[in-house]
Structures are given as structure tokens and as C-alpha cells.
Amino acid sequence: MTKQDSFQNYRQYYPDGHKSNHTWGGRLEKIAKTIPNKVAFIQGERKLTWKEFNRRTNRLANALLELGVKKEDRVAIMGFNSIEWTESYFGISKIGAVPVNVTPRFLSNELKYILEGSDSVALIAENDNLGRIEEIRQELPLLEHVIVIGERIPEDMIGYEKLLARSFEKKVLAPWKVTNEDFSFLFYTGGTTGYPKGTVWDNYGRVQGLDSILITGMAPLGKKLPNLPSDAIQGLNDLLPIPLSERFVRSKFFHWLVNREPKSDFSGRLSLRLHGSRLAYYLAGGKAKLVVAAQLFHGTAYEANLSMIGAFGATSIYLTQRQPFDPRELWETVERNQANLIVIVGDAFAIPMAEELHRKNYDIRSLFAIVSSGVRWSPGVKKKLLQKHPGLLLIDELGSTETSSAYSQISSSVDEDISLLRIKIVPKGINSTRVINPETKEDVKPGERGELVFGGFNSLGYWKDPERTANHYRVIDGRRWFYVGDEGTVDDAGYFHFIGRGSSIINSGGEKVYAEEVEETLMQHRHIREAGVTGVPDERWGEAVTAVIQPEKGADLTPEEIIEYCRAKMAGYKKPKHVLFVESLPRAASGKLERKGLREMAAKLVAGSR
């Protein structure tokens, strides 16, 4: 990839662009001054306070300056969750350089694609990845420095800790100012259906956007609160600066307050101003303890973690075993640290978590909520978790790498129906949603199928891809919207019911079949542990709907039984024409189902059976 690009092609200007400081460096300095001795990060037995973390990021920032890294230079981070990953992100950001996320499980060709496409001048990587880096380094003339986290350091690379040890920790000595309008992050998507796409962010959109994500993501909680178990209300109070009495929460006044239709978005804008303030850090700093089980190089974990840090100075907890995911360590970590939040990516995490909870008793009474995004989270798995902790809240968030929008559905033990994902449409406000007909750009009527679009804190476009940018980021009625690709219907109450993603549609005999819709039905079968649905080439149908299933251990399933099960629950054209049983489904390091790998697996197995 030799095509060049410049941030000037994306830059936005804001009325208070140089007056306010919505940058990661500004946020971290404010946190460190307000709550210097609160615990910022925990990983195993290791803990860092905000003062210690801030000084280490200063050391890294100054070390990068000494290496010649300049403002807007891209610096890639390649590793699983660690304190060093987050240090690297903040240290790079403090000098106005641009972090680039790299999945550590990438093969050499995928790694080259990211480093070359981003024009990265430096790479911070764990030493487990050095073999693949050495394979391609000579093909990357812009990559001047490789900084290695770990003990085994090749001669032509730089040790991370040695680099920090020789640098200055009191303040960052950059000769330029970092502002809201500057390039802040080149965030590559997961790449589950092809090569990842780089999304371009400035500081204002990324930092304020992640403040806003908490507002929209937690909006449904108010209406649910009066009916929640006492344990859930207490769990919320453990996070709040000022506790809410249970009597007040269950009062008619509170019910009226949370169910009224506000005339303006005043409360949302007030919350946005409070997030990231010294008052917020003083009152709430350290109350929220978030276990980041999903990986930071993926949007779900990154957005959850950085939003909690930036808005409230939350404590981040990382597991010591990053891959494969260990549910036992997760629950031991929650128990030991009295954590109150976990972030995961769907069933890939939730299934083994539920199994481990039913295998052994853990004290998880401190846990308030588990947040999941990126993929669907099966109702049956949710029920298993709620059986072990009735006061727990399970939060499905619908968002994307390209946006700072997170619209939630919250499930609890008092819900009669833990249904498929649905979110409230918010046509106006800080972050907005509409469901439109893509051709007419008009809002769909109840019952009609349309595409979800996000307005608000969106990324500025796709790096080096103006055609894709123009296709996905469009202006409607004077406002810029991102076309998500999620399709579904709207009901009379204004809720969007997710059916599937346009990229996962199977065209079978001229009918559109959404893979996610069939998967959701399959996952309700009591003997199916995991299921993925894809299309394989077929002479008669064009594509044949194919279910790839991992059965529960000891289950004796047949293809005919699965097809008959589906026949009673969906239209005939949607039911699988092939059913394949496997030991495991292909998943990306983020936990997302790898659609391309699933399609290749299914095609190979079907061809082999003929």
C-alpha cells in the first residue's frame, strides 16, 4: 500500500477548539492532580496509582520525543491487555502523536498491511510477536523504531523499561501544543470479514465522544431502576458519589421523573460538562472498578475502558492470562478486588463464564453489571448468569468502531422476557439514531425494514479510502450521519429491533437471510453451545444457508433434528440446508465470530461431504 494521505483531508474545526482541553494528556494530568494516590490500574499483584501512571506516561512521551517522533506521527501498539498497553496509548497521545491499534494475532501479511497503511514510524510490541515483526521489517522503510515490552530484546530493537528509565518524568517537553482539533487515534476495525479499515479520530470527537457514550449507554437504566432488585440498587449506589435511597427510587415522583419526555437535552449536555471535570474525579474517582476481559485492541473494551477513565477516573483491572480467556481467573479477580463492572464480547466470553459460575461458587456480590458489545449475547446464557447473581445487570450495547454511540438494552432477573436486542431510537440529542430507508433517506414507518444511522460524535472517515468515507458518512438535513450497516425494524413505541448486518446477508433463492437471526434461534436450543450461520455456494439456491454448530458436551444431535427444530421457528427459506458439527467456531482475538473463516470452513466441510 503506497497511497499517501494527510490528516488535513479530515480535520474539523470547533468553536472552542483551542480554548478547552479535551485531550487524553489533559485528562490524565487532571486526574493525577485530583486523585494522585487512588489506584489507577491493577494486573495480578501489580498496582499503579494515578501519580505513578502519569509519571510513567511522561517518561514514555519524552523518550519518544528523543527518538524523533513528531506530532501526527503514527505509533502502533501491538499486544494483549496490559498496563503497558494503556501507558503506551497515553504516552503517545501526550505528544500529539497518533496511536494505532494492532491485533497481536495478526499474521505477517496482516501486520504489514496495518503498519504500511498507517505509515507508522514506531511500534511498541510484546516480545512474543518479534518473529513476525522481523519477517517484514525490511519491507517497512518508514518504521524506524521497534520498542519491546518484555525481557528478550534483540540488538536492533529498544527495551520498553530501559527506554522509560533514561527519560524525564516530571512533565512532557514537547515543543508544540496538542489541541482538540488534532489527530488523536487511527483506530482499525476488527477485520472479521476482510482486512481492517482505519477510522480517523481527532481529540474532541474521541475524548468527548467517549464521555457521551456513558450517557447514551446508561440512559435505559433510569426507567428500569424502580423495578430492580434491592441488590441492583445497592450496586449502583456503590458507584454513585451521592447514593439514592431505595424508597426514593421506588417512589411515584422518581417514576414520573425518569419517564417524562424532556423538552430539551439539557441533562445530557450538563452530564457531558461534568464528565472529565475535577469535581467528577474527586467525587467518583476509584469507585468504579472495571475488569477488562475483552481486548483493548478491539472497540468494545477500548471504548468501555477509556470512557470510564476519562469521565470518572475509574480503576482498570486487567487479567494476567490474556489468551486464551480463563473464566476462573476472571471470577477470582472479581472476588479478590471486589470489582463492580466487567466488559466482554458476547457468548465467546459469557458461555465459559456461566459454566465456571455453575461449577464453583464465587463471591461476586460486588458485581453491578456485565457489559457486552460487538456481537449478540444469547438470552439463554444471560439467564444462567442471573441465576447465580439475581442482583446483576446485563447490558447489551449496540455501537461500532466508527462511532462514539452506544445504545443499550439492560436485562435483569426481574424481566419476564430476556429478548433479542432492541434499542430506543433517539432522533435528537448529543448522540442520535434514526432508522432510514437508505435510498429515500426518510425515516421508516413502524414494521418497515431500514438501516440504522448514527449522528453525533462519529469518526472523521476511513484512512486512505475517500470512496468508502463518502459512502458511509453522509449529510442528511444538514447533519453528518454514519451508516452503520445494521438492519432491522422499528415498532410503535420507537424501539429498533436488530435483525442482522447487511454484510452477513445470505442470498438464498432470491430471499435475504440474516445470519444473526438464524443464529439467535439456534442458540435457544438447549443442546447447542455455540452456533454460526453462513452461506455456501449452491447451484440451485445461489447460496445455501449453512449452520455450523458446536454442541454441548455429551449432546447427541443430528442435522435432521436441527432442521426440524428450525422449521417450527422460522420461515422455510431461512432454515439451514446444511448442518455441520464442529469442536469450535473460528473467532478473532477480540471474541467476535470470524465470518470469513466461518464461510471458508463451511464451504470446505460441505464440499467434503458430497
Per-residue pLDDT of 66-96, as tens digits, reads 999 999 999 999 999 999 999 999 999 999 9
Q: Is residue 34 a contact partner of residue 278, using CB atoms and an 8 Å limit?
A: yes
- Neighbour-count burial of 188, counting CB atoms closer than 10 A to its CB (0-12 exposed, 13-18 middle, 19+ buried): buried
In a domain, 488, yes or no: no
Residues 132, 214 within the same domain: no
What is the number of domains present in the chain?
3
| 403 and 275 within one domain | yes
Write the pLDDT tens digit of every residue in 453-508: 998 899 999 999 999 999 999 988 888 999 988 888 999 988 888 777 766 778 78
> Is residue 431 in some structural domain?
no
User: Is 137 a domain residue?
Assistant: yes
Q: What is the pLDDT of residue 253?
A: 92
Distance, in Å, from the CA atom of 451 to the CA atom of 433, rounded to the nearest integer, reads 10
Q: Does residue 227 belong to any structural domain of this protein?
A: yes
Alpha-carbon span 508 to 53, nearest angstrom: 54
In this structure, are residues 1 and 198 in contact, taking their beta carbons and an 8 Å threshold? no
pLDDT of res. 309: 97
| Range of the structural domain that residue 415 is part of | 207-420
Give the whole-angstrom CA distance, residue 607 versus residue 610.
6
CATH number at residue 136: 3.40.50.12780
The per-residue pLDDT for 303 is: 94
The residue among 592 and 160 whose pLDDT is bigger is 160
Residue 192 has pLDDT above 60, yes or no: no
Would you call 93 helix, strand, or coil by DSSP?
helix
Distant-in-sequence, close-in-space partners of 546: CB < 8 Å, separation ≥ 6: 533, 534, 535, 536, 576, 577, 578, 579, 580, 602, 606
The grid cell for 539 is 447451484
Report in angstroms the alpha-carbon separations of 331 from 87, 256, 339, 386, 392. 25, 38, 10, 15, 14
Confidence at residue 264, expressed as pLDDT on a 0 to 100 scale? 67
Whether residue 188 sits in one domain with residue 81 = yes
How big is the chain by its Cα radius of gyration, in Å?
Answer: 24
The 74-78 sheet, strands edge to edge: 158-159, 145-149, 120-126, 74-78, 98-102, 183-188, 198-202, 461-462
Report residue 265 as a C-alpha cell.
437535552
Query: Do residue 214 and residue 142 come from a single domain?
Result: no
Choice between 64 and 568, residue whose per-residue pLDDT is larger: 64
Do 212 and 93 sit in the same domain of this protein?
no
In whole angstroms, give the CA distance from residue 130 to residue 117.
Answer: 20
CB 43, CB 21: distance < 8 Å: no
Give CA angle at 460 (459, 465), nearest 5°.
110
End residue of a domain, out of 388, 420, 452: 420
- What cell was used for 575? 432454515
Cβ(45)–Cβ(57) under 8 Å? no
Amino acid at 338: Q
| 49, 147: one domain | yes
Strands of 280-340 (E only): list them: 289-292, 315-318
pLDDT digits (tens, 9 = 90+) for 132-169: 999 999 999 999 999 999 988 999 999 999 999 999 99
What CATH number does the domain containing 600 carry? 3.30.300.30
For 88-127, the pLDDT digits (tens) are: 999 999 999 999 999 998 889 889 999 999 999 999 999 9
User: Pick from 121, 306, 108: which is nearest to 207 by CA?
Assistant: 306
Question: One-letter amino acid identity for 457?
Answer: F
**In the chain, what's the furthest Cα-to-Cα distance?**
70
User: How many residues belong to the chain?
Assistant: 610
Residue 189 is assigned to a structural domain of this protein:
yes
The confidence score (pLDDT) of residue 1 equals 45
137 and 87 in a single domain? The answer is: yes
Does 564 score more than 60 pLDDT? yes
Residue after which a domain boundary falls, among 175, 196, 217: 196
Together in a domain, 382 and 331: yes
Spell 235-273 as b/e; 16+ CB within 10 A means b.
bbbebeeeeeeeeebeeeebbeebeeeeeebeebeebbe
Whether residue 301 contacts residue 259, with contact meaning beta carbons closer than 8 Å, is answered with no
Q: Mention every residue, 6+ apart, whose C-beta is less than 8 A from residue 33.
A: 278
Phi-psi region of 590 (alpha: psi -120 to 50; beta: other; left: phi over 0): alpha
Is 209 within 8 Å of 185 (Cβ atoms)? Answer: no
Question: Domain of 351: which CATH number?
Answer: 3.40.50.980
569/146: higher pLDDT: 146
Predicted pLDDT at 420? 61
| Mean pLDDT along residues 240-269 | 84
One-letter amino acid of 513:
V
Are both 212 and 162 inside the same structural domain?
no
CA atoms of 292 and 318, how far apart (whole Å): 6
Answer yes or no: do 113 and 211 share one domain.
no
pLDDT of residue 506: 86
Task: Supply 447's cell numbers.
Answer: 414494521
Confidence class of residue 57 from pLDDT cuts 50, 70 and 90? very high
> 66 in a domain, yes or no?
yes
d(CA 348, CA 351): 6
Same domain, 273 and 183: no
Q: Retrieve residue 323's grid coordinates.
A: 489468551
Q: Are residues 168 and 101 in the same domain?
A: yes
Q: How far apart are CA 29 and CA 26, in angstroms?
A: 5
The proportion of the chain whose per-residue pLDDT surpasses 70, expressed as a percent, equals 96
Residues 375-401, mean pLDDT to the nearest whole number: 88
Query: Minimal CA–CA distance to 459: which of 4, 10, 5?
Result: 10
* Residue 571 counted as domain residue: yes
User: What's the rounded Cα separation, in Å, for the pair 278 and 326?
Assistant: 37
d(CA 69, CA 91) in angstroms, rounded, equals 12
In a domain, 451, yes or no: no
